[in-house]
Amino acid sequence: MSDKTVPFGPRNPPQDPLLARAAELPKDIEPPRDLWPGIAARLGEAPRESRDRGFRWPMALAAGFAVAAVSALLTWGLMRPSPAPAPTVVAQQPAPTPDDIVPVSYGPNSGLTAAELAARDALVAQFRESFTKLKPETRVAIVKNLAVMQAAANEIDAALARDPASRMLRGMLFGTYKQELQLYSAVVTSGDGLTRRT
């Protein structure tokens, strides 16, 4: 591991007088108080990551792509015009009930706020009301897709723990959150049509 010398301040002196003055501002501003005691008190609480990185990024990427794919397919399935009824429908397994719906649990590195999770939970409540109107096979698909999203969230959160500076990972995790909301929203907003469709 080596620390490199990096340039601070513009690589080339800016021509714009305003930017030139901005570049002359002091880079360091000392905090008004010593923040170290508060940091030190929290170090023991924070689990440290091990060095066995390497596989996490690909897994996180794969998980993100999987979420995008299944969510898009499921949303398409919910929104497309209903095909002609199949001659026979054989139930392969009991249709899930609203109690089988487990919203995605996001880890400590997600950066999602309590308000964002509360907004999601409010949507979940509406979603549960519409859930029983769905066809059994659709309900099965939704439960499976939520499991895929959970796996993706787990992988991305683990990767974020190792690389907290990654905007891409944070974007992927927020993308998973948005996909989850879109799934619920698609069901809630199409609820009336779903009942007529079956």
Partner 1 sequence: MQRVTDPAGSGEAAAELVTRASRGDAGAFEALYRQHAGRVYGLCLRMTGHPQAAEDLTQDTFVSAWRSLPGYEGRSSFSTWLHRIAVNAVLAKRRSPQGRNEVSMTDDSGEQMDFEAETAMDDATPIDVERAIAALPSGARDIVVLHGVYGYSHEEAADMLGVAVGTCKAQLHRARRLMRARMGGEAGA
Q: Which residues lie near partner 1 (CB under 8 A)?
A: 1-14, 16-19, 21-23, 25-33, 35-36, 38-40, 42-43, 46-51, 53, 111, 113-116, 161-167, 170-171
Residue placing its CB nearer to partner 1 in the complex, 46 or 147:
46
| Nearest alpha-carbon partner for 186 in 89, 26, 75 | 75
Name the minimum Å distance from CB 21 to partner 1: 4
| Nearest alpha-carbon partner for 127 in 114, 147, 143 | 143
The rounded distance, in Å, linking the Cα atoms of 25 and 17 is 13
Q: Which tokens go with 135? A: 């066809």
Q: Please check whether residue 189 is in contact with residue 133, taking contact to mean a CB–CB distance below 8 angstroms.
A: no
Q: How far apart are the first and last CA of the chain?
A: 61
Name the minimum Å distance from CB 92 to partner 1: 41
Q: Please check whether residue 153 is in contact with residue 111, taking contact to mean a CB–CB distance below 8 angstroms.
A: no
Residue placing its CB nearer to partner 1 in the complex, 123 or 142:
123
The rounded distance, in Å, linking the Cα atoms of 102 and 81 is 28
Name the minimum Å distance from CB 8 to partner 1: 4
The rounded distance, in Å, linking the Cα atoms of 153 and 18 is 43
Name the minimum Å distance from CB 150 to partner 1: 21
Name the minimum Å distance from CB 45 to partner 1: 8
Residue placing its CB nearer to partner 1 in the complex, 3 or 99:
3
Residue placing its CB nearer to partner 1 in the complex, 79 or 119:
119
Residue placing its CB nearer to partner 1 in the complex, 60 or 187:
60
